[in-house]
Every structure is written in C-alpha cells, then in structure tokens.
Amino acid sequence: MIGIIGAMEEEVAKLKELCEDREEIQKGPYFFVKGKLSGKEVVLCKAGIGKVNAAACTQALIDTFSPSQILNTGVAGAIAEEIHVLDLLVSKDAVQYDMDATEFGYPRGQIPREEDLAFPAEEKMIEKALAVGKTMQGFHTFLGRVATGDCFVSSQEKKEFLRKEFQASCCEMEGAAIAQIARKNGVPFLILRFISDEANTKAPMTYTEFERKAIAQSVDFVLEFLK
C-alpha cells in the first residue's frame, strides 16, 4: 500500500474522490481514505500545513497502515532559475532549511544527532517519476532538492539564500518533515511538487493564480505514477 500525503485538502480532495472501494478511517485528528487508485492500493490523508503537521500525520499513517512507500504531493515555490510555474520537481532529497544548530558546529539545516543534512528519496521511485514525466506534456520535469521550512517564501533574498546555501530547487513547508519520519521508520519516500509560484515578491499573487492548475497537474501525475 502506498501512503499519499498532501498538506492541504485541495491537494488530496480529487484523489480521494477518484478512489475505488473507498473506506474512510478516522484516527485522532486524521481522516484517512483508503482504496484503489490506478489499480493500486493507496491511503490518502491531508496532514495540515507545516513541518509539525506533516511529521505527526506521517507517523499516524505509518502506525495505522504500514505503507510500503510514502508519496508527498502538492505545490511548491521555484528556487532554481530554470524551474518555472507549473513545472514538476521530483525530490532527489529534502532538507529542513530552518533547522539551525550552527552554534554547536552543525551545518545549517542539519538536525543534530540525525542522519545527513538532507534526507534522500528512494531511487526506484525517483526513476519512475522521471520516466512518467517524460511521457507527459505541458510541463518540464526536474530532479532536485526540496527545501522545507515553516515559512511561505516570497523574497528574492530568501530565494537566493536557499539556492546558495542549500542548492535547493524548490521550497515548501512539509516535504523534509515527511522525509525525516519516513526514513526513521524505514519507509521509502518521494516528494512530487508542481510549481505554483517562483518564491519572489510576486509569489502570493502567482500562487493564487496558479494553485488550482498546479494541483490539477499533480493529480494527473499521481494517477500516471501509480499505474
């Protein structure tokens, strides 16, 4: 079974609707939808926004359903120059850029006493996503680093910081927290993010304009990915 987590209801609503043999399971604050998508067993959940919500939901999903893989889908801001609105970023790895224990000699982003700076996504899931990307029209697919933090990025300065300091390709608010908990439990993960804005001063406006389209592309992509 593949666990699919979105931060916002909009990011998973359509997938929940398309689920066959659907079953709804409530566990604490989480409403899981279990069923089949593209013939594959899946369980879907809205985590809520930010790293804390993402981590808690990931652990609840693992404890309840023991998924073989975890997919995090949704939207992100572009950080790399070559990535634009409505493109797809497939995670090579993910870093929590707002973790800062530099006073103790850790590199910025490194969680003290945990594994490396960035959590690596699963190779086979990456390969599959890149292959699916090649078959789909209307957007470019990139492989890169997801920078996660509890902040909506909307400044050139912060964008440049994320690019220079972390070599990030996109920014969002959940991926690396899901990655951390997935890794801790030995569950392979992948983050798939369609670009809703370019994380600059225009980001709030661009986000509002492109969010729906980016989510629609994400839904189509997930259905292909699962096939």
Which is nearer to ligand ADE, 113 or 164 (by Cβ)? Answer: 164
Report, in Å, the least distance between residue 39 CB and ligand ADE.
30
State which residue, 117 or 173, has the beta carbon closest to ligand ADE.
173
| 76 binds ligand ADE per the rule CB under 6 A | yes
Q: Is 11 a catalytic residue?
A: yes
Beta bridge partner(s), residue 143? 90
Catalytic residue among 93, 172, 174, 197: 197
> Which residue has the closest beta carbon to ligand ADE?
77
- Tell me the CA distances in angstroms from 173 to 8, 100, 103, 128, 164, one per residue in order: 11, 16, 24, 24, 19
| 41 versus 150: smaller Cβ distance to ligand ADE | 150
Contact with ligand ADE (CB under 6 A) among 19, 42, 71, 75: 75
Please list every residue from 164 through 223 that binds ligand ADE, using CB under 6 A.
171-173, 196-197, 199, 203, 207
End-to-end CA distance of the chain: 13
Query: By CB under 6 A, is residue 153 in contact with ligand ADE?
Result: yes
For the bound state, the minimum distance from the C-beta of residue 196 to ligand ADE, rounded and expressed in Å, comes to 5
15 or 203, CB closer to ligand ADE?
Answer: 203
Does residue 80 touch ligand ADE according to CB under 6 A? no
User: From the CB of 113, what's the least distance to ligand ADE, in Å?
Assistant: 27
Q: Does 87 bind ligand ADE (CB under 6 A)?
A: no
Binding site for ligand ADE (CB under 6 A): 75-77, 152-154, 171-173, 196-197, 199, 203, 207
Catalytic sites, residue numbers: 11, 197
